Amino acid sequence: MLEQLLIFTRGGLILWTCKELGNALRGSPIDTLIRSCLLEERSGAASYNYDVPGASYTLKWTFHNELGLVFVAVYQKILHLLYVDDLLAMVKREFSVIYDPKRMVYDDFDETFRQLRREAEARVEEMKKSKQVMAKPIGNLGKKQGQQMQKSGFEGANGKKSGGGESGKDGTDDDNVKTGILENGHSNGEVVNKGRVNYKENGGHNTKTGAFDVNKLQKLRSKGAKKANVVVTKVSKEEPKKKPAKKNRVWDESPPETKLDFTDPVSENGDAHMAVAQVVEGESMMDKDEVVSSDSETEDEDESETDKKVDSKKKGWFTSMFQSIAGKANLEKADLEPALRALKDRLMTKNVAEEIAEKLCESVAVSLEGKKLASFTRISSTVQAAMEDALVRILTPRRSIDILRDVHSAKEQHKPYVVVFVGVNGVGKSTNLAKVAYWLQQHDINVMMAACDTFRSGAVEQLRTHARRLQIPIFEKGYEKDPAIVAKEAIQEATRNGSDVVLVDTAGRMQDNEPLMRALSKLIYVNSPDLVLFVGEALVGNDAVDQLSKFNQKLADLSPSTSPRLIDGILLTKFDTIDDKVGAALSMVYISGAPVMFIGCGQSYTDLKKLNVKSIVKTLLK
């Protein structure tokens, strides 16, 4: 049953809803659709599933791009309504006829909708009936053929049995076949000989003149079976010689084995009194504004090249010139495909994951299809402008990412602001944690490090070195400890000491390593951090999608909470090594919905900056 159908503008103004349905939707599926699909350029998908406790809906939609209208149908996920697509298409066609931008109420559309709905349901019923009618003759034909074959088989068998005693030669052959069964005694021989008897009954005349001799075949099979038995017995007699196991050498008066924990037992918190001068490397790049150049020569060149490829192949010179002056009536998917194909290839050369590039192009095609091309405007430039708007919407954070403000609000509540750094192996979590600590120090914020990487050898010493250089306290418990308990004790210690921020370092783990992912999920569940930062390399391509999606999936599946914490933000490292291959930022933001909060671009503590959305978009499209 259809739960709801509504029509609204792209600006969010609801023009018409089906009062006849009148079902109150549980949750907010329409708002979620707008936030998750329409604003995030995921509208290329055919449908969207909305799942919350107590409600499960499927939403389908279509656009009228020329009028700027959105048509959305909502129904229960468990139902498979076949007429929804046809109904949306008919509603779109009929409503576009009566639509007036100055008009706000469309109560007269109720009766039209009832007729369209009955028509769509009737079509589906006719399709079902036609399928059933087509299936019945085929089934009856198969039954008749089977009955005829059975009758002919019985008649042939009876006829041959009744005339079986006509020739004595055939009787002797049958006796030979039956004695062959008794002599061989093998199951395989029985099957073959029985088949031969049936052959005789069906009208065979002489085994010697047939395709093969059954007696010879039985003799060959019996010999092969005997040989196989002999081989098996020989192999079973010769038992393989076992190699003697290598024994550990035992040294006299050797000390007992101990755990390989070489951390300095200086104190419980690991505060080694070592004279190290505090590092001062200047102002962090986080507080500097990046200047984006306004050169557009390369963009114009690319546009002209793509325009030549799109227009000159399919159309003549006069036709393309006339359409650029007069404007095309309505853009069709065939007109957009060449430009979108070139744009997809360009995004993939910038290290955007193939799956993400394809979805973006589909979404742009849906948003442009049916629109009228303005005068003196090329298709390639229209597609590029639409893609640029889509990329800006995706990369622009949907919520505030002002960490300094959040730290001060937590300080007013007399509790530390906790940040957990997670990610795969070798991406630079510890180094960039130190960069974030240095940036917070410059804003007069008391920072404390928590060494919760109790898995990798040398991780505690690495973090301790950064803490000594920055003159920051560090909380550590050594190796082979539960990281969730270590983080909890570190937060308690920070509360006692009055630290404003606790930066929690965790072990690197692959997204498929379930034991380590379970430990990370426990750490986040026990300590409820204010920010979960995923540290990822800017060098990854298609693997960015796999890493982010599986990290979020594992954190959701392995958490005991009903509303688990997922990744809140992204820290991209090694950004100085990729030149113009900046596609990893787009792939990660698109797949997770989390904003890029920091970018690591060097080896020193000052090499940390914010993401410049305009610069990234320009680099992706040039």
Q: For the segment 251-286, what is each residue's pLDDT rounded down to a tens digit?
A: 655 555 555 555 555 544 444 444 455 556 677 777
Instruction: Please report the pLDDT score of residue 129 as a whole number.
Output: 81
Strand runs (DSSP E) across 351-396, as ranges?
none
Instruction: Please report the pLDDT score of residue 466 as a whole number.
Output: 94
Q: Which of 98-107, 110-119, 247-256, 296-305 has the lowest mean pLDDT?
A: 296-305
Q: Which of 21-35, 426-440, 575-589 has the lowest mean pLDDT?
A: 21-35
Q: Which of 41-50, 66-75, 185-194 has the lowest mean pLDDT?
A: 185-194
**Residue 264 to residue 559: CA distance in whole angstroms:** 34
* Angle at CA of residue 109, ends 107 and 114, nearest 5°: 120
* Among the listed residues 292, 290, 286, 367, the one whose alpha carbon sits nearest the alpha carbon of residue 617: 292
Tokens of 547: 């890493």
The pLDDT tens digits for 490-542 are 999 999 999 999 999 999 888 888 888 999 999 999 999 999 999 999 888 77
Q: How many CB atoms lie within 10 A of CB 238?
A: 7
Strand runs (DSSP E) across 321-405, as ranges?
none
Instruction: Please report the pLDDT score of residue 17 as a whole number.
Output: 87
Q: Which of 285-289, 314-318, 413-417, 464-468 has the lowest mean pLDDT?
A: 314-318
Q: Is the pLDDT of residue 195 over 90?
A: no
User: 14-17 and 2-9: which strand pairing?
Assistant: antiparallel
Q: Is the pLDDT of residue 99 over 60?
A: yes
435 class by beta-carbon count within 10 Å (0-12 exposed, 13-18 middle, 19+ buried): buried
User: Which carries the bigger pLDDT value, residue 590 or residue 195?
Assistant: 590
**Residue 463 to residue 448: CA distance in whole angstroms:** 11
Which position has the token pair 């390989």?
260
Distances (CA, A) of 354 to 214, 336, 362: 62, 19, 12
Q: Is the pLDDT of residue 161 over 50?
A: no
Distance, C-alpha 313 to centroid of its chain: 36
Tokens of 417: 């602001």
Q: Is residue 579 within 8 Å of 383, Cβ to Cβ? A: no
Q: Is the pLDDT of residue 422 over 90?
A: yes
Instruction: Please report the pLDDT score of residue 147 as a whole number.
Output: 52
Q: What is the mean pLDDT of residues 179-208?
A: 42
Q: Is the pLDDT of residue 450 over 60?
A: yes
Q: Is residue 7 within 8 Å of 16, Cβ to Cβ? A: yes
Instruction: Please report the pLDDT score of residue 56 as a whole number.
Output: 87
Q: Is the pLDDT of residue 82 over 90?
A: no
84-98 and 109-162 are packed helices; what angle lies between their axes, rounded to 10 degrees?
A: 150
* Among the listed residues 188, 207, 189, 208, the one whose alpha carbon sits nearest the alpha carbon of residue 199: 207
Q: In what order do the strands lie in the sheet with 47-52?
A: 14-17, 2-9, 69-76, 55-64, 47-52
Q: How sure is the predictor about 134, in pLDDT bands with cuts at 50, 70 and 90?
A: low
Q: Is the pLDDT of residue 414 over 70?
A: yes
Q: What is the DSSP letter of 303?
A: H
Percent of residues, the chain, with pLDDT higher than 90: 26
Instruction: Please report the pLDDT score of residue 258 as a whole number.
Output: 54
Average model confidence (pLDDT) across the chain? 76
Q: Is residue 583 within 8 Å of 541, Cβ to Cβ? A: yes
Q: Is residue 575 within 8 Å of 588, Cβ to Cβ? A: no
Q: How sure is the predictor about 416, in pLDDT bands with cuts at 50, 70 and 90?
A: very high
Q: Residue 7 belongs to what H/E stretch? A: strand 2-9
Percent of residues, the chain, with pLDDT higher than 70: 68
Q: HSE, CB side, 13 Å, CA atoms: give it for residue 78.
A: 2
